[in-house]
Chain A
Amino acid sequence: MSDRTDPRFEYLLRLGDNALILSHRLSEWCGHGPVLEEDLALTNVALDLIGQTQFWLGYAGELEGRGRDADALAFRRDVWDFRNVILVEQPNGDYSHTMARQLYFDAWHFHLLLALITSTDTRIAEIAAKALKEVTYHLERSTMWVVTLGDGTEESHERMQRAVDNLWSYTGELFEVDEVESSLVANGVAPDLARLVEPWRSTVGDVLRQGTLDMPEDTWMHTGGKKGIHSESLGYILADMQFLQRAYPGASW
C-alpha cells in the first residue's frame, strides 16, 4: 500500500501528532517541576508518548510510501500539516491546567486505545495494545492529581475548578467524526468516536466527583486541529521543537 489518499495515513497522523505535541508540552516542565518526583513523572509520561509517536508516525510514513520516516514527519512538516487536536497544544499554565489537560486527554486516549485493540488493521491493533498499558498509568496519575488538587485546600480547589472549566471547550473536538474517520469506521479500522462520548464522560465525571469538582456546562467548542487549523500555540511549539532539524537538516548525534 502506498497510496497518498489512504485515509489511514491521515488517521495515523492524528494519533501520532496528538502524542507528539502533548509529549513536547510535558517536556517543557523538565527542570521546572514543583518537586523532583513530578519532574521525573512528567518526563516519563512524555517519553512514553514519544515512543508511541514513533510507532504511529513510522507506520504513517510507510503507508505514504514517499520515504518519510517518523523523524521526517515530526520535524519537517509545518503547522497546517499537523493533525493533533487543539487541546494538546494548549499551554501548560499552572499545575492544575497541566493536569486538567492531561485528564481530559488520558481518559479519551484510554477509551480510544481500548477500542483500537480490535482494529481490523493488525498493525494499528498491535500498537494500541502496547500503548494502552502505558496510558493506563497516565490516566491513573492524572486522576490522582485532579482529585488531590480538587479535594485539597481552598486555593487548590479553586484553581483546579478553573482549569477544568477553562479547558472544557477543547474537549468537543475529541469526538468529532469527519469523512476520514467515517470511512475507517465503515471497514473496522477505527472506532466511531461518537460512541466514546459516554465512557469518557463517565470516567471524567467520576474523577471530578471524587475531587469535589463540578462538571463544566456544555458550551461552544473549539474545532479545527484535526484539519490543520490550529491555535497560535502550535507555531511556537514547532519553532522550538523543529529548530535544530531546520537549521541543521539531518543533524544527528
Chain B
Amino acid sequence: MNAIEHPSPQPGVAQIWGWLSDVPDPEIPVVSVVDLGIVRDVRWEAKEGATTELVVTITPTYSGCPATSLIALEIERAIRDHGVHRIRLKTQISPPWTTDWISEAGRQRLKGFGIAPPAKVRYLVERLSGNAAAAECPHCGSNKTVRVSEFGSTPCKALYKCSDCLEPFDLFKCL
C-alpha cells in the first residue's frame, strides 16, 4: 500500500470531484456518476494517529439497481488510479435519491444520447393526480408521445414512442 501520509500533500476535495466526474455510469455511459447525483459527498476524515482517509458517500438510484456495486468499484478504482489508497466508501440512502439531482449538463447529455431526461419531480402530487407533463421526444422535440411500458431496459427508464416521428425512445423516469 502506497498510503498517503502526512505531510505529503493530499489532493483537495474539488480535485477529487473532478476525477469522479470522469467516471461513467456503467449503463448510460454518456453521463457520469457525478452528473447523476450518485456521489453525495467527498471529504477527508482524520483517522487514528496523523493519517487521514478519504470518505466518499454514494447513494443507490433504485434499491435493486444491479449497477450499484459496479459503480462503487469504478469510483474506488478512479481514486486509486490517482494515487489515493486510503479510501472508504459509505452508502447512504437518506434522503433518498431523486432524479432532481441529475445535473443540467447530465440532462443535456442524456437527451443527446436519445434518452428523454426526467421532468422535475414534485413527485407524489403530480403522479398520483395524473397531471404529470407529457414526455418530450428527444429526437424531434414533439410532445405527442405515448407510453409503451412503465418499465424499460433498466429500472430507471420507461419506454415511450413518439407519435410524430414514430421513433421509440427511453424516458428517464422521475423518482
Please give the distance in Å from A140's CB to the nearest CB on chain B. 7
Known: A41-B151, A51-B60, A140-B127. Contact between A133 and B96, CB under 8 A?
A: yes
> Which chain B residues lie closer than 8 Å to A6 at the CB level?
none
Total chain B interface residues with beta-carbon distance under 8 A: 27
Per-residue CB contact flags for chain B residues 78-117 toward chain A (1 = under 8 Å, else 0) read 0000000000000001111110000000000000000000
Known: A40-B151, A44-B155, A45-B151. Contact between A52 and B95, CB under 8 A?
A: no
B66 an interface residue at 8 Å Cβ cutoff?
A: yes
Q: How many A-B residue pairs have CB under 8 A?
A: 73
In the bound complex, CA of A137 to CA of B147 (Å): 14
The interface centre, meaning the residue of A44, A48, A125 with most chain B CB atoms within 10 A of its CB, is A44
> Which residue of A48, A55, A133 is within 8 Å of B123 (Cβ)?
A133
> Which chain B residues lie closer than 8 Å to A136 at the CB level?
123-124, 127-128
Once the chains bind, are A126 and B63 in contact (CB under 8 Å)?
no
In the bound complex, CA of A200 to CA of B148 (Å): 28
Once the chains bind, are A40 and B63 in contact (CB under 8 Å)?
no
Contacting A at CB under 8 A, from B145-175, are: 148-155, 159, 173, 175
B contact patch SS: loop
Contacting B at CB under 8 A, from A36-80, are: 37-38, 40-41, 44-45, 47-52, 54-55
In the bound complex, CA of A137 to CA of B121 (Å): 14
In the bound complex, CA of A122 to CA of B66 (Å): 25
> Which chain B residues lie closer than 8 Å to A134 at the CB level?
62-63, 175
Known: A47-B155, A130-B94, A136-B124. Contact between A38 and B149, CB under 8 A?
A: yes
Chain B residue nearest to A138 in the complex (CB): B150
Once the chains bind, are A137 and B148 in contact (CB under 8 Å)?
no
> Which chain A residues lie closer than 8 Å to B155 at the CB level?
44, 47-48
B64 an interface residue at 8 Å Cβ cutoff?
A: yes
In the bound complex, CA of A131 to CA of B63 (Å): 7
> Which residue of A38, A40, A45, A55 is within 8 Å of B152 (Cβ)?
A40
Once the chains bind, are A140 and B63 in contact (CB under 8 Å)?
no
Chain A: number of interface residues, binned into ranges: 20 to 34
In the bound complex, CA of A50 to CA of B62 (Å): 11
> Which chain A residues lie closer than 8 Å to B153 at the CB level?
40
Chain B residue nearest to A37 in the complex (CB): B149
Chain B residue nearest to A36 in the complex (CB): B149
In the bound complex, CA of A125 to CA of B148 (Å): 33
Per-residue CB contact flags for chain A residues 111-152 toward chain B (1 = under 8 Å, else 0) read 000000000000001110111011011001100100000000
In the bound complex, CA of A231 to CA of B92 (Å): 37
Chain A residue nearest to B63 in the complex (CB): A51
In the bound complex, CA of A40 to CA of B170 (Å): 13
Chain B residue nearest to A52 in the complex (CB): B63
Once the chains bind, are A37 and B159 in contact (CB under 8 Å)?
yes
In the bound complex, CA of A133 to CA of B62 (Å): 9
> Which chain B residues lie closer than 8 Å to A141 at the CB level?
150-151
> Which residue of A41, A125, A126 is within 8 Å of B150 (Cβ)?
A41
Once the chains bind, are B64 and A50 in contact (CB under 8 Å)?
yes
Once the chains bind, are B93 and A41 in contact (CB under 8 Å)?
no
B65 an interface residue at 8 Å Cβ cutoff?
A: yes
Known: A44-B155, A133-B175, A136-B127. Contact between A52 and B64, CB under 8 A?
A: yes
Other 19 A-B pairs with CB < 8 A, given A125-B94, A130-B63: A37-B159, A38-B149, A41-B150, A44-B151, A44-B154, A47-B66, A47-B155, A48-B62, A50-B64, A51-B60, A51-B65, A52-B64, A130-B97, A133-B175, A134-B62, A134-B175, A136-B127, A137-B151, A140-B127
By a beta-carbon cutoff of 8 Å, the part of chain A in contact with chain B is 37-38, 40-41, 44-45, 47-52, 54-55, 125-127, 129-131, 133-134, 136-137, 140-141, 144
